[in-house]
Amino acid sequence: MRRRITDSQYKAGKEAPAPSAADVLLYLEERFGLERALFSDYGLYATSKGRIYIGPKRLVNHPRIATVGLLIARSQGAIKPSTNLLQLFGRQVKKNYVVLGRENAATFIGGTDVKVTSGEKGDASDGYVLVRYLDFSLGCGMLHGSDVRNMLPKAKRLKIAYI
């Protein structure tokens, strides 16, 4: 069942309360510097499994909709941004990103965790980060110290020898 997130919270199955639209937007603003106005033309929707989608503000009932839009986050107690979100809005991310060098980028795209230098890490803090190579948003990673855990979905991983 799809349910549009409003400013009031609701229970998502037996899990902790799902975040409200205000919670999701606040998280994206605080963690990545993504302004709320960026999402003003879209609706945010949550499923009972804690998945959060971005889609049109107005839904059409027929034909039956399989998914409302693009998966942008998961919430099971905490909010985890999706690679879709970070690839789509990556150019607007102002903080908590790492910029990988050529070798680390090729390794990360292949699905492997990487160690980053202080230059690659910049001023990003531990937690979810946008991983970039040059001006390209590669996806989501989990930064812990100098280690970036790869959070790319398996379907988006590529074995490449050359960038």
pLDDT tens per residue across span 3-18:
444 433 333 334 456 6
CB of 25 closer than 8 Å to CB of 65? no
Q: What is the DSSP letter of 21?
A: H
Q: Is the pLDDT of residue 63 over 70?
A: no
14 and 80 both lie in a single domain? yes
32 and 82 both lie in a single domain? yes
Mean pLDDT of 138-149: 96
80 and 129 both lie in a single domain? no
- Which CB contacts under 8 angstroms, 24+ apart, belong to 21-25? 23/79, 24/52, 24/73, 24/75, 24/79
Tokens of 110: 């292949």
The most distant pair of C-alpha atoms in the chain lies apart, rounded to whole Å, by: 52
7 and 84 both lie in a single domain? yes
Token look-up 């959060």 returns: 52
Non-local (6+) Cβ contacts of 116 within 8 A are 98, 100, 104, 143, 146, 147, 148
Give me the number of domains the chain comprises.
Answer: 2
58 and 123 both lie in a single domain? no
Average pLDDT of the chain?
A: 84
For residue 128, what are the domain limits?
A: 96-156
Q: Is the pLDDT of residue 155 over 60?
A: yes
